[in-house]
A and B are shown apart, each in its own frame.
Chain A
Amino acid sequence: MTQETISSQEEIVLLSVGSLEPEAYAYGIQKEIKDQAGSNWSLGTIHTILYRLEKKGLLKSAMGGASDKRGGRSKRLYNLTAKGYGNVHHVQETRQAMWNKLVTNKPSF
C-alpha cells in the first residue's frame, strides 16, 4: 500500500481519532490532545488538519450525535479508514524499529 507522508501534527490527530472512535469529533480531539500531550491546539488548527486528512483519504466522516449541550447541533464524527490505519501503523512500526535499534546501540550522553 502506498503511504502518504504525514506530519507529526497529522499523526497525533490520526492517533486521537483512532483512540476516540466512534466518538471522534473536533472538540473531543482537542480535549484528548490536551489530556495526552498537554498542549493547547485551537479548533481551527485541528479542523484544518482533519480536513486535510480526509482529503488524503486517511479519514472518513459522517454527521451524527446531536446533544443539548451543543445547542442541538450535530457533530461530525471521524473514523480511520484502512488507509489511515495503515499509515499510522506504518509510522509506528518504523519508529518502533528505529527505537529498538537506538536502545540496543546504547548511546552515550
Chain B
Amino acid sequence: MGNKPPKRAERLLERFVDDRWWNELAGDLEEQFIDNVDQKGLRKAKLIYWLEVIRLLRPHIFKKTKQYNRIMMTGNHIKISYRNLKKNKVYAFINILGLSIGIACVVLIAVYVNYETSYDKFFKDSDRIYRAALERVYPGRVKTFGTSSIMLAPTLREHYPQVEAVTRLHRLFFNNEVPISFPDSDKTFTETKFLFGDSLFFKVFSHEFIVGDSKTALNNPTDVVLTESTAIRYFGTTDALDKIINVNTGTRRVTGVIRDIPANSHIHFDLLGSTRSVPPLNNAIEIGSWVNPWVYTYLKLNEGINPTDFEREFPALVETHGGANIAQNSGSDWKEKGHSYNYFLQPIESIHLESKLDVEVEPNSDIVYVYIISVVALIILAISSINFINLSIARSTERAKEVGIRKVMGSQRSALISQFLTESIFICLVSSIVSIGLVFFAIPQFNRILGTSLDFLTIVQPLAVGVLLVFILLIGTVSGFYPALVISALQPSHVLKGSYKNSSKGIWLRNGLIIVQFVISIFMISGSLIVSQQMEYLTNKDLGFNKDNVLVVHQTGRIANNYNAFFNEVSQISSIEGIGGSTFIPGEFLGSGVFKVNDPEVNDVRGNTLSANQAYLETMEFEIVMGRNFDRAFNDSLSLIINEATVQAMGVENPIGMKFLSNNNPNAPTLEFTIVGVVKDYNFYSLHSEIGPIFMFYGGNNFIPNVIVMRINSNDIEGTVAQIKQEWETVSEQPFKYSFLDSNLERQYESDKASTSVFDIFTFIAIIMSCTGLFGLATYVVNQRSKEMSIRKVLGASLPSIITVFAKDFLLLIMIAFLIGTPIAYFALNAWLENFAYHISIGALAFLIAGVITIVLVFITVSYQGVKMALVNPTKVLRSE
C-alpha cells in the first residue's frame, strides 16, 4: 500500500485544524482516501482529498489561538475595506490609480538602476578585472585617456606576477568602417563594430564560444572571431569555423563564434580581429612606443591583490620600461619639463557609469542620470502617497460615524488603528498588482526611448518580489498611519452628535501636503521648460557653419583613381551647390598633434588636425575672419588655416604669416607651415565641451578626400541622393555610404535627449497625479460645503462667485508653493546647466509659465466640481436633514 495522501494537503490540515479535531479528521480522510484509491484511482483520490481538506477549513475547526483571532479580524477588515472602496468609486479609482502609478515608477526605476549597475558583471571574475587608463600630463595641461601604451600589457605580463591575465583591445579611431566581402559569394557588408584583441583576450573576458577554442582563437594575425548574429548574417549558420572573409587589408579566417554580447557591456563588437593585423600597432610594438595611447589594456588581478596597492607600481613601471622611449620623444629631461604618464586602474564594473575619459570604447552613461531618474521616481511616489494621505484625512469625517459606532460597540483603539492600516495596506496591495501590469507595458516604451534592454523578468525573482512586498507594506503603513491615528482618536460622543463634521482638524497638515505637491509641480514644470529650452539652444546654436542640407559621402578615398571622374559627374548635378573634401566626417574623431612656432613668445599649441580643400571651407560656410581661404591658384601645399581658439591658445594678436613647425613624428622631417587664414570657431562636437584649437591643412591640388561634403540646393533631397548614388555605382563596387550633417551632429545629444524625454514623461505623470489628487480633494471639499453653497445660491450668489469661493482657498496655497518652489528650481537647474560649456541663462519666464499652468490646472479641476455643485437645484441639497 504505497499510496499516500498528498503531503501538502495533510500539512495544510495540520497547520489550521485544532488539535482536538485533527486526529480523527485525518483518520477519516485517510480511510476515505484509501477507499477512493481502490474505487476511482490514485489521481482522483488525491483530488478528492484536496477538495475535502479545503472544505474542512471551517471556523469551528480552526485552532483557537490569538493568531486565529487576528486572522478573523483581518478578514473582517478586508471586507470592510472592500465595501468602503465600492461605496465611493471615484475615491477608490484615484487612490488606486495614483498609488499604482507611483509604485510602477519605482519598480521601473529599480529595474533601470539594476540594469545600469549590472554592466560587465556577467564576465567571470568581473570584480577582479580592471582597465589601465592613462592620465597624461603635458607641460601645463592634463588629458585622461581610456587607452594606454601598447607596451603596457606585455610588460605587466612579464614582470608582474600579481597579474593573472592581461590583454589589449584596439578600435579603429578613424575610418572605422570596414568593408567585408566573401570569396565565394557577392554579398558585401560594411562593419563599424570591428574591434581587435590580442591572443589573450578571452583569458580576461569570459565570452562563451559556440564553436572554436577560446585559447587559440586569436593566435594568428589572420584570425577573426564572430558573434553569433554576425555569423548568421554572413553564413546563415553559427557553424562558421574556417570560413574565409575578405576585409580591406586581406583575407581572414573565422576561428570562433561566440554568443552575442549582452547589451549591458561597455565593449561590443560584431567581429574581433587580431591586434597584429593592424599595421600601426605592429610598428608601435617594433619601436616599443610608450607615448602613443593606442590600445585599451585590461588586466585581471590575482585574488587578494589590492588594486590601490598595485596602482603604486605604475610610476616605477613606466620609468623602468618606458623611460628610454619617452626620452627619445620628449628629451631625457622629460620629467623636468613637466611630462608624465600616470596610469590608474578602473574597475571594469564601474566604467559604464563612472568613466568619462577621452577615447572610450563606447559612449558611456552617467551616474548622474541614474540619480536624477531615481529622485524623480521617488518624487512621484511621494506625490501619490500624499494624495493617499490627503484623501484619507479628508474622508475621515465621513468615516467618523463608523468609528463612533465601533467604539460604542466596544472596539479598542488599537483595533481601529489596525483596521485603518489594513485598509491602506489592502489598497497598496491592489495598487501594486495594477502597477505590475503597468510596468509590463511600460518597459518596452522605456527601452525604446532610452535604448536600453530592460527585461520584465528581472523583477520576477524571489528576492525582488520580497523587496517589493516589504516596500508595499511600508508605503501602506506610512501613508495609513497618520489617518489611522487621527480617526481612531475621535470621541464617540462628539462624533455621533455630528460636531466633527465641521471641525478643521487636520486641515493644516492637509494644506501643508498640498503645498508640497504644488512645489513639486512648479519645480517639474519649470524644470522641463528650461531643459527643453537648453536642448533647443544646443541644436540651434550658431555652430560657426551651416549644417542644413549638407550631405556627407563617406569613404570616397576608396574609389581612388576614379575620384576625379566621380567628382566631375557629380558636379554636373544642378541641385548640388558645392563639393568639398576633407579627411574626417564632421563630428567624428580628428587627428591631433602638437605645434610650435619658432618664437619663444608664442605658446605651443596642441590641437586637432584635418586636411581639407578650398571647396570644403566654402561648402561648410565657415566664416573667415582673418587672411584667406586656400586657393588653387597659389602654392598652398604648406599653408595652414586655424580657428580662433588656436589664436587664443597661441596668445598672439595677428597670426597670419606665422610659421608652425610640426613635430608629430620624430622620424619624419619637420615641416614648416604658414598660417594663411583664421576661421571663426566652429563646433563639430557636443556643446558639453568647449571648442579646442583646430589646424586645417591643405589637401593639395590633387587631393583625394576620405569624405566629401555637398550642399544640396533642392527640395528633392531623395532624388539628388539617388543621382549621386547612381554616379557612385558607375565608378565603385563598394557600397554607397552617406549621412546628413545635421543628424550626425544631433547624435551627440542623444543621451541628453533620452534623459530629457524621460524627464518630460515623468513630469507629465507627476503633474497629472497632483491634479488627480487635487480633483479628489476638491470633490470632497465641495461635497462637504454643499449646504453652504446651496444657501449662498438661494440668497442670490452667481455661478462665478460660487466657484471663486472654492478656488480662493487653493489659490492661496499655490501662491505659497510658488514662493517656495521657484528658488529650489532655480538652484537645481543652474547646477544642471553648469554641465554645458554653452548654456542659456535662466529667465523668469519659465517660472511664470509654470505658475500659470499650475493655476489654470487647479482652476479647471476645482471649477469642474464647483460648477457641478452650483448647477444642482438647492432644494435637493437642503431638503434632507
Q: How far, in whole Å, are A43 and B58 apart by their CA atoms in the complex?
A: 11
Contacts A30-B32, A69-B34 given: A44-B52 contact, CB under 8 Å? yes
Contacts A42-B51, A42-B52 given: A47-B25 contact, CB under 8 Å? yes
Whether, in the assembled complex, B186 has its beta carbon less than 8 Å from a beta carbon of chain A, the answer is no
Contacts A44-B58, A51-B60 given: A74-B28 contact, CB under 8 Å? no
Whether, in the assembled complex, B56 has its beta carbon less than 8 Å from a beta carbon of chain A, the answer is yes
Whether, in the assembled complex, B30 has its beta carbon less than 8 Å from a beta carbon of chain A, the answer is yes
Contacts of A51 in B (CB 8 A): 60
Residue of A nearest to B56 (CB): A44
Flag A16-42 by CB within 8 Å of B: 1 or 0 each.
000000000111001000000000001
* Contact of B28 with A25 in the complex, beta carbons under 8 Å: yes
Flag B655-692 by CB within 8 Å of A: 1 or 0 each.
00000000000000000000000000000000000000
Q: How far, in whole Å, are A76 and B28 apart by their CA atoms in the complex?
A: 9
* Contact of A75 with B55 in the complex, beta carbons under 8 Å: no
Whether, in the assembled complex, A70 has its beta carbon less than 8 Å from a beta carbon of chain B, the answer is yes
- Chain A nearest CB from B447 CB (Å) reads 51
How many A residues are at the interface, by size bracket?
20 to 34
Residue of A nearest to B29 (CB): A43
* Contact of B52 with A74 in the complex, beta carbons under 8 Å: no
Whether, in the assembled complex, A9 has its beta carbon less than 8 Å from a beta carbon of chain B, the answer is no
Q: CB < 8 Å: which of B25, B30, B58, B60 contacts A26?
A: B25
Flag A66-101 by CB within 8 Å of B: 1 or 0 each.
110111011110000000000000000000000000
Whether, in the assembled complex, A48 has its beta carbon less than 8 Å from a beta carbon of chain B, the answer is yes
Contacts of A70 in B (CB 8 A): 27-28, 30-31
Flag B7-27 by CB within 8 Å of A: 1 or 0 each.
000000000000001011111
* Contact of B56 with A27 in the complex, beta carbons under 8 Å: no
Whether, in the assembled complex, B465 has its beta carbon less than 8 Å from a beta carbon of chain A, the answer is no
* Contact of B58 with A73 in the complex, beta carbons under 8 Å: no
Residue of B nearest to A26 (CB): B28
Q: How far, in whole Å, are A75 and B32 apart by their CA atoms in the complex?
A: 13
Contacts A25-B24, A26-B25, A47-B25 given: A69-B52 contact, CB under 8 Å? no
B-side interface residues, number (CB < 8 Å): 20
Contacts of A66 in B (CB 8 A): 27
- Chain B nearest CB from A78 CB (Å) reads 11
Q: CB < 8 Å: which of B31, B55, B58 contacts A69?
A: B31
Residue of B nearest to A30 (CB): B32
Whether, in the assembled complex, A45 has its beta carbon less than 8 Å from a beta carbon of chain B, the answer is yes
Whether, in the assembled complex, A6 has its beta carbon less than 8 Å from a beta carbon of chain B, the answer is no
Q: CB < 8 Å: which of A43, A69, A71, A73 contacts B56?
A: A43
* Residues 39-69 (chain A) with a chain B CB within 8 angstroms: 42-45, 47-48, 51, 63, 66-67, 69
- Chain B nearest CB from A58 CB (Å) reads 16
Residue of B nearest to A67 (CB): B31
Contacts of A73 in B (CB 8 A): 23-24, 26-27, 30
Contacts of A27 in B (CB 8 A): 28-29, 31-32
Residue of B nearest to A42 (CB): B55
Q: How far, in whole Å, are A3 and B606 apart by their CA atoms in the complex?
A: 112
Q: CB < 8 Å: which of A30, A45, A47, A74 contacts B27?
A: A74
* Contact of B26 with A47 in the complex, beta carbons under 8 Å: no
Q: How far, in whole Å, are A31 and B263 apart by their CA atoms in the complex?
A: 65
Residue of B nearest to A76 (CB): B24
Q: CB < 8 Å: which of A47, A69, A74 contacts B30?
A: A69
- Chain A nearest CB from B567 CB (Å) reads 93
* Contact of A75 with B29 in the complex, beta carbons under 8 Å: no
* Contact of A48 with B26 in the complex, beta carbons under 8 Å: no
* Residues 50-69 (chain B) with a chain A CB within 8 angstroms: 51-52, 55-58, 60-61
- Chain B nearest CB from A38 CB (Å) reads 16
* Contact of B55 with A26 in the complex, beta carbons under 8 Å: no
Residue of B nearest to A65 (CB): B27
Residue of A nearest to B24 (CB): A76
Residue of A nearest to B34 (CB): A69
Q: List 30 A-B contacts (CB under 8 A).
A: A26-B24, A26-B28, A27-B28, A27-B29, A27-B31, A30-B32, A42-B52, A42-B55, A42-B56, A43-B29, A43-B32, A43-B55, A43-B56, A44-B52, A44-B57, A47-B56, A47-B58, A48-B58, A51-B60, A63-B24, A69-B30, A69-B31, A70-B30, A70-B31, A71-B26, A73-B24, A74-B24, A75-B24, A75-B27, A76-B24
The residues of B with any CB-CB pair to A shorter than 8 Å are: 21, 23-32, 34, 51-52, 55-58, 60-61
Closest 5 CB pairs of A and B: A73-B27, A44-B55, A70-B27, A27-B28, A42-B55
